[in-house]
Amino acid sequence: MPTVFDRISNIVRANINDMLDNAEDPEAMLNQIIRDMNDALRQADSDIADQIAQQKMLEGDLEAAQRNAAAWQDKAELAVSKNRDDLAREALMRVNDFNDHVALYTKQLEAQKSAVQQLKAKRDQLKSKYDSAVRNKEMLVARAKSAQAQMNMTHMTTKTNTADYASELDRMERRIRNMEARAQADEEVAESKTTVEDEFSKLGSDEKIEEQLAALKAQMGKTTQPAA
């Protein structure tokens, strides 16, 4: 399970802008990021407090070991002054034991202080990023929405460019031209039909006129001259 240190490091390294650019709902994503940051900050504060408590316990253990080592050193000196070498030897053994404890607690305390400082530094970085996200929330959301809109427009443009509109227009033009040609042909056929009918009608009319003219001349005693 990742520690709070790992979680804070991951959040600090995260690029909020990239996360928002790829989100379907940038505002909801940013709100979630801010909530996660806030939760991580609270957890970090709690863990830092725990680590500081452990540091204080180590400091207490170190001070106690140092006091005991000093106290047994005094006893060893006292035993020597009283010519009690046996007690002096026992006291010096205790001194060595407590000095070993002092060395161990000193090393542990240094590591604990380093861990606390690192956790505080990461917590401060996260707090800075959290404050920036809250402060620039509206701007970040606007930028993300603008980027998303641009991506959508690019997608639509690409889709439009790949569509075979040229072929569709060409087919439509051919249909229109075919309709125009058919209309002209129908008109020519109609005109041709009317002309033929008119010629036959004219022929019938001329023949009737000639008959009437011949009859009129016969009545008037004139000879009908054949038509040239």
Q: Are 72 and 94 in contact (CB under 8 A)?
A: yes
The pLDDT tens digits for 177-192 are: 777 777 777 777 666 6
- Per the document, the length of the chain is 228
- Region 117-124: mean pLDDT is 92
The CA-based dihedral angle spanning residues 166, 170, 173, 179, taken in that order and rounded to the nearest 10 degrees: -150
Q: In angstroms, what CA-CA distances link 153 with 88, 105, 140, 150, 163?
A: 90, 64, 20, 5, 15
Neighbours of 59 (CB within 10 A): 14
Q: How far apart are CA 183 and CA 126, in angstroms?
A: 78
- Region 51-67: mean pLDDT is 96
For CA atoms 198, 203, 205, 206, the dihedral sign is positive
pLDDT of 55 reads: 96
Q: How far apart are CA 188 and CA 207, in angstroms?
A: 29
The pLDDT tens digits for 75-105 are: 999 999 999 999 999 999 999 999 999 999 9
pLDDT of 225 reads: 55
Amino acid letter, residue 203:
L
Structure tokens at 34: 């801010």
Examine the pLDDT at 1 and tell me if it is beyond 50: no
* HSE value, Cβ hemisphere, 13 Å, CA-based, for 215: 6
Q: How far apart are CA 93 and CA 73, in angstroms?
A: 10
